[in-house]
């Protein structure tokens, strides 16, 4: 089975702090994604990576950056956390040609105070 592991299930940070969310997948998937999920807004794509060191902005990239130095690892970085970044963050991976068949991690619930 594909396993997507997110490093932290729950985080509490203060406004202005730098936050790292890490995601590791063990099935050699090319594609990796970061989504956030908010009540009433659904799942929204933050960033997408289709290869090592490659990234594309999703629908809401402002305030976020990503890093993919190794194929199995995709990190989401909040340079200066703000309260409106309080959310559930979901990492996912997929393997072309079934690129839309996403495997999600358990999620990281971030609270910014």
Partner 1 sequence: QKEVEQNSGPLSVPEGAIASLNCTYSDRVSQSFFWYRQYSGKSPELIMSIYSNGDKEDGRFTAQLNKASQYVSLLIRDSQPSDSATYLCAVNPSSNTGKLIFGQGTTLQVKP
Structure-token pair, residue 4: 């997507």
Pick between residue 80 and residue 99 the one whose CB is nearest to partner 1. 99
Residue 76 near partner 1 by CB under 8 A: no
SS (H, E, C) 48-91: EEEECCEEEECCCCCCCEEEEEECCEEEEEECCCCHHHCEEEEE
Residues 47-66 that bind partner 1 (CB under 8 A): 48, 50, 56, 58
Pick between residue 40 and residue 69 the one whose CB is nearest to partner 1. 40
Is residue 4 within 8 Å of 105, Cβ to Cβ?
Answer: yes
Residues that bind partner 1 (CB under 8 A): 31, 33, 40-45, 48, 50, 56, 58, 90, 94, 96-107
């Amino acid at each position: 089975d594909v396993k997507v592991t997110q490093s932290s299930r729950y985080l509490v940070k203060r406004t202005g702090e730098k936050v790292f969310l890490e995601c590791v997948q063990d099935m050699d998937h090319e594609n990796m994604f970061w989504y956030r999920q908010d009540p009433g807004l659904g799942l929204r794509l933050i960033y997408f990576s289709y290869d090592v060191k490659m990234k594309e902005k999703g629908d809401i990239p402002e305030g976020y950056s990503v890093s993919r130095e190794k194929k199995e690892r995709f990190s989401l970085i909040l340079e200066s956390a703000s309260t409106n970044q309080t959310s559930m963050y979901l990492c996912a991976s997929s393997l072309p040609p079934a690129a839309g068949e996403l495997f999600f991690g358990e999620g990281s619930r971030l609270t910014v105070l």
